[in-house]
Structure 1
Amino acid sequence: MKRAHGFYSVPYVLWLALFVIAPLVLIVYQSFFNISGQFTFDNYKLYLSSGTYLRMTLNSVWYALLITALTLLISYPTAYWLSQTKHKQLWLLLIILPTWINLLLKAYAFIGIFSQGGSVNRFLQFFGFGAHQLLFTNTSFILVAAYIEIPFMILPIFNAIDELKPSLLNASKDLGATNWQTFSKVVFPLTLDGVKAGVQAVFIPSLSLFMLTRLIGGNKVITLGTAIEEHFLVTQNWGMGSTIGVVLIIAMIAIMFLTGERKKRGR
């Protein structure tokens, strides 16, 4: 029986080794070489001493926080409402459907929506507000990124809410708790793991966005993902690009640790 389990785990172990561990090892290895192929620690020294890279790091964290906060603000009420509806699986499917569309196609769709002759500006002109520069702004970048990430926040929160036992809610009401007290003392604490999972699913990818920064932000939004793309595809400085990649990996591990479930040790 143990041999059978070992045999079935071989594809998973191979996949993990080839497509997860090996790329991480290569990125760490490449980060210790300069553009001339010489072994050096200068990449890390430059990153830690350069104000430009530190500003990029702060920008990446700040935008990721804004995107995560906006998606959470929209997703929690939506997930709670979905859990109360009659055809919740159908509504959930409609929310998931946009994730099947390619990211590039969605980005170009928003370029058409936010452009000078787009539907949003035509709507504003209809009410006499005139055309505005909506594309290539920080606001448009945050809105589009939040729209793309929302399904990944809604799903874990919805699952956590849907798994709540009705008896707990009924007990809260029987004890005289108001709707707000029931939500704040029972519902939200018991669904906090779903919120943490949603934060991980949104915050971590938002740290390394680069396509939307170009297409929607118009290169006005500079993040670490943009810097990695520049180093790998433009300057060909793979060592510096790998160094930034290592920093992002460390940041992602830190976020997973901070938002992960901690088991309390007891006697």
Structure 2
Amino acid sequence: MTNTKRLYSIPYILWLVLFVVTPVLLIIYQSFKGIDGNFSLVNYKEYFSSTTYLAMTFNSVWYAFLITLVVLFISYPTAYFLVRTKHKQLWLMLIILPTWVNLLLKAYAFIGIFSAHGSINQFLEMTGLGSQQILFTDFSFIFVAAYIEIPFMIMPIFNTLEELNPSLISASRDLGASSWETFRRVIFPLSMNGVKSGVQAVFIPSLSLFMLTRLIGGNRVITLGTAIEEHFMVTQNWGMGSTIGVVLIVAMLVIMLITGERKKKTGGNK
């Protein structure tokens, strides 16, 4: 039985080594190569001494935080009421359905909606408010990013709420707790694992957004993902691009550690 398990684990280990471990090691290796091809710490020195790169890092974290916050405020109530609806699986499928559409197609769809002659501005002109600059703003960038990320927050929260023991809620009501107290003291604390998983699923990808920053943000929003693309595709400074990639990987690991599920150590007296 043990040999069978080891045999089945070989494809997974090969996939992990080839497509996860090896690329990360190559990025780390490349980050120590300067633009002249020599090995040095010049890339890290330039990164941590440059106000431009540090401001870019702050922008990435700040926008990822805003996107995650907006998504959480929308997703939690949605998942909460979705669990209590009659045809919840159908509604859940409709929420997940947009994730099947290519990200580029969704971005271009929003360009058409938010553009100067788009649907929203046409409506504003009909109401007499006049055309507004919506595209290439912080609002449009956060709105579109939040729209794309919402299903990834709803799913883990929905699953956690779905698995809650109804007897715990009934016990809270029997003990005289109001609906708000039941939610605050029972439902929300027990659904925190779903919230943490959702935060991971949204915050981490939001750190490295680059397509939306160009198409929707109009390069007004500069993030680490944008800088990586710039160094690899334009300036051809792969060393600095890899250095930013390493910083991004470390930031993602930190987020995973902060939001990860902690197992409590239990011990008994003999």
> Which residue identity lines up with residue 256 of structure 1 in the other structure?
M
Q: Which residue of 1 aligns with 2:241?
A: 241
Q: Percent identity?
A: 71
Read off the aligned partner of 2:244 and give its amino acid letter: I
Match of 1:78 in 2: 78
- The one-letter amino acid of 1:236's match is Q
How do 1:17-166 and structure 2 match up within 5 A?
17-166=17-166
- How big is the alpha-carbon RMSD for the aligned residues of Structure 1 and Structure 2? 0.6
The residue type paired with residue 151 of structure 1 is P
Counterpart in the other structure of 2:261 = 261
> How much does 1:242 deviate?
0.2
Instruction: Give, in angstroms, the shift of residue 18 of structure 1.
Output: 0.1
For 1:82 and 1:123, the matched residues in 2 are separated by: 31
Amino acid in structure 2 at the alignment position of 1:192: M
1:207 aligns to 2:207 (yes or no)? yes
Which string of whole-angstrom CA distances, capped at 9 and with x for unpartnered residues, describes residues 238-267 of structure 1?
000000000000000000000011112232
Query: Aligned equivalents of 1:34 and 1:89: distance in 2?
Result: 53
Alpha-carbon separation, structure 1, partners of 2:14 and 2:34: 31
The CA distance in 2 between the partners of 1:125 and 1:178, in whole Å, is 47
Q: Partner of 2:193 in structure 1?
A: 193
In the TM superposition, what whole-angstrom CA distance separates every residue of 1:180-205 from its partner, at most 9, and x where no partner exists?
A: 00000000000000000000000000
Aligned partner letter, 1:3: N
Letter matched to residue 233 of structure 1: M
2:9 equivalent in structure 1: 9
* Cα deviation 1:168-189 (Å, max 9, x = unaligned): 1111111110010000000000
**What TM-score, normalized to structure 1?**
0.99
Structure 2, unmatched stretches of 5+, are none
Gaps of 5+ in 1: none
Q: Which stretch shifts more, 123-132 or 199-208?
A: 123-132
| Cα displacement (A) at 1:229 | 0.3
> So what's the TM-score if we normalise by structure 2?
0.98
Q: Tell me, what secondary structure is at the counterpart of 1:264?
A: coil
**Could you tell me which residue of structure 2 aligns to residue 227 of structure 1?**
227
Equivalence for 1:178: 178
**AA of the residue aligned to 1:115:** S
> C-alpha displacement at 1:117, in angstroms?
0.8
Once residues 162 and 124 of structure 2 are traced to their aligned partners in structure 1, the CA distance between those partners, rounded to angstroms, is 40
Residues paired across the two proteins, number: 267
Cα drift, residue 36 of structure 1: 1.9
| Distance in structure 1 (CA, Å) of the matches to 2:243 and 2:97 | 36
Pairwise CA distance, 1:34? 1.1
CA distance in 2, matches of 1:45, 1:34: 11
Once the 2 structures are TM-superposed, how far is the Cα of residue 124 of structure 1 from its aligned partner? 1.2
Counterparts of 2:7 and 2:255, CA distance in 1? 34
